[in-house]
A and B are shown apart, each in its own frame.
Chain A
Amino acid sequence: MIAFETIEAPACPLGLENVDTDQLIPARFMQTPRAQGYGGFLLHDLRRDEGGAMRGDLAVNDARYGAAQIMIARANFGCGSSREAAVYVLADAGYRCVLAPSFGDIFASNAVKNGVLPARVSASGIETLLGDPGVLAGAPIRVDLAAQTVSVGNKSIAFEVRPDWKKQLLNGWDDVDLTRSYAQEIAQFVERDTAQRPWAVPR
């Protein structure tokens, strides 16, 4: 995994609440091999009206945010299904960070595995960002993971991130390599556990 560095890029002020993973990527696209790229599926149905035309009232369709690498949303972003494709759509569309007051648990974990930062900003902080003229104009904002701050003009807003995720993102850690370094502990656990819970193995 590539280490996460400070981002300075425009942010997309999506501003929606409870954006579930079925919105992030409708199920019908999930057969696609990853190599083909998932960026085009991002919020696919939400972005379009009934006739299939791109909606004019949604930030994600706004040319000002075409180069956005940061998404700004309201509470419970990424709730619902465990589909990691909900992160692929963001990553493949160029997003490296989502700012929201809270996240779907599995989504946030999937995001970290793909180098996307789920940064928890207070609800009032999100309102400040969504109302900021610079953000709305598509000016770059700065996300500093080490300092846990979002900077817009001369404003600086703190964010929360789980310490383990922060470390993983900053170091570009690979979980599997890390776990393999625990091979001895795993072997010892299995030996102990087999004696303690003989019933735990399927008959």
Chain B
Amino acid sequence: MIKTFTPDDLLRYLYEDTSVEESKEIEIALLTDERLQQEWEQLQNDFQLLDDLLLEPSEAVTDRIMHWAGAMNMAALRS
């Protein structure tokens, strides 16, 4: 018998918060449950949209971080 899953279950599955066994059950349910499929597609779109919001800091801040990393490295090697 195919288990029933809620939108919260799908959300946990989306973020890989489900166990291997539960994930398999959800994947089986997704094959037959049209409502669940629609919700899943929507969640995947949401996930992609949020992922595309990732920002890039400036090169200058990366350089400053690496400058500090180098200075601390030198200090550690000298001590």
Please say whether chains A and B are actual partners in one complex.
no
